[in-house]
């Protein structure tokens, strides 16, 4: 059984590995970095600059995109590290838009097992 927090990227060297060895796909609101991790599950990390907004806004973006990721996690291929980097326009994104955008980026990167969003 996985411990709480095991599916998250926390340490700077984990982030560095994804940035250096991974690939990226870009949209208006976010940049999605991904890299194989040799584990039987995916891990997710966030990087949202203070330039995007104050802490309330940054945490809202994290919550929205984390929930969007959780909703589509079963459709993703396993064994990847993901980093979602928030951009300025993401401050006003809705949950529905976030889900569609994240799924579109994952499909563009060929990270989905099936090509339709449930």
pLDDT, tens digit, for every residue of 48-87? 999 999 999 999 999 999 999 999 999 999 999 999 999 9
Contact (CB, 8 A) for 85 and 47: yes
Provide the CATH topology of domain 12-108: Ribosomal Protein S5; domain 2 (3.30.230)
Domain-wise residue ranges, the chain: 12-108
Tell me what pLDDT residue 110 has.
Answer: 94
pLDDT at 98: 94
Average pLDDT score over residue span 83-102: 94
CA distance 108 to 16: 23
Q: Based on the number of CB atoms within 10 Å of its own CB, is 51 exposed (0-12), middle (13-18) or buried (19 or more)?
A: exposed
Tokens of residue 52, six digits: 């995007």
- Separation between Cα atoms, residue 16 and residue 86, nearest integer Å: 17
Q: Which residues pair with 21 in a beta bridge?
A: none
* 29: CB partners within 8 A, 6+ apart: 86, 87, 89, 90, 93, 97, 98, 101
pLDDT digits (tens, 9 = 90+) for 10-31: 999 999 999 999 999 999 999 9
């Amino acid at each position: 059984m996985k411990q709480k927090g095991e599916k998250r990227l926390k340490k700077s060297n984990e982030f560095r590995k994804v940035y250096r060895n991974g690939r990226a796909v870009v949209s208006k609101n976010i940049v999605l970095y991904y890299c194989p991790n040799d584990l039987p599950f995916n891990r997710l990390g966030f990087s949202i600059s203070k330039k995007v907004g104050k802490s309330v806004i940054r945490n809202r973006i994290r919550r929205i995109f984390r929930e969007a990721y959780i909703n589509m996690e079963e459709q993703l291929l396993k064994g990847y590290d993901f980093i979602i980097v928030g951009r300025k326009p993401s401050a006003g994104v809705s949950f529905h838009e976030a889900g569609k955008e994240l799924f579109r980026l994952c499909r563009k990167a060929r990270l989905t097992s099936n090509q339709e969003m449930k």
